[in-house]
Chains A and B, each alone.
Chain A
Amino acid sequence: ETGVTQSPTHLIKTRGQQVTLRCSSQSGHNTVSWYQQALGQGPQFIFQYYREEENGRGNFPPRFSGLQFPNYSSELNVNALELDDSALYLCASSPGRDSSYNEQFFGPGTRLTVL
């Protein structure tokens, strides 16, 4: 059983650019959630996908979008990067449809710096 992996580990972008972050969920986990974690803060929920469909979204603008693929991988896309987007981005996978009912397995995160 492999854990949750994310790529890249670190990324530096400039304001206005676009970025794609990738996550590989634990095998058999149909739900993936993405979080933004600013320094010294708890993770903030961005959105959640279940079997390739978005089934929950936090208070983030539409320039944050995602995809989930049948092979348990997923992407987080952020357009028109802003300085405040600098953060650690975490993905977490869980079995079943309801991640609030199940343990979430977090990946190590991608550290995004926007200059």
Chain B
Amino acid sequence: QQPVQSPQAVILREGEDAVINCSSSKALYSVHWYRQKHGEAPVFLMILLKGGEQKGHDKISASFNEKKQQSSLYLTASQLSYSGTYFCGTSGSARQLTFGSGTQLTVLP
């Protein structure tokens, strides 16, 4: 079942912070976060695994609440380059990623 992302879209000024949420109705093994710019391939940001392990870029932070099957991506001091569509992908027992519909982030100067 597809995870639900919120908000669907957000507009920020450079330097502002944003939080993108992802929730699932099923038990999760992992949550992935990717950013996709228009016309480009999705780019990996972070993986959060059941049990607490995280793998990702140093400047990106995220949380994973295993009990609530929720994850949040924290974007602090946003830059123009942060603009794009953010997707969370979740995996359960089937170990295949199911992506949400995305959150469109626009950072204005």
Contacts and interface: CB of A to CB of B under 8 A. Distances in A.
Contacts of A107: 41
Contacts of A56: 94-96
Interface stretch (B42-50, B63-71, B73-81): B42-50
Interface of B: 2, 29-30, 32, 34, 40-44, 47, 49, 55, 87, 89, 91, 94-102
Interface string A76-115: 0000000000000010100000111111111111000000
Given A41-B101, A41-B102, A45-B97, A100 B41 contact: no
15 contacts: A42-B87, A43-B87, A45-B97, A45-B99, A56-B94, A99-B95, A99-B96, A99-B97, A100-B29, A100-B32, A100-B96, A104-B34, A104-B44, A106-B34, A106-B41
B41 A108 contact: yes
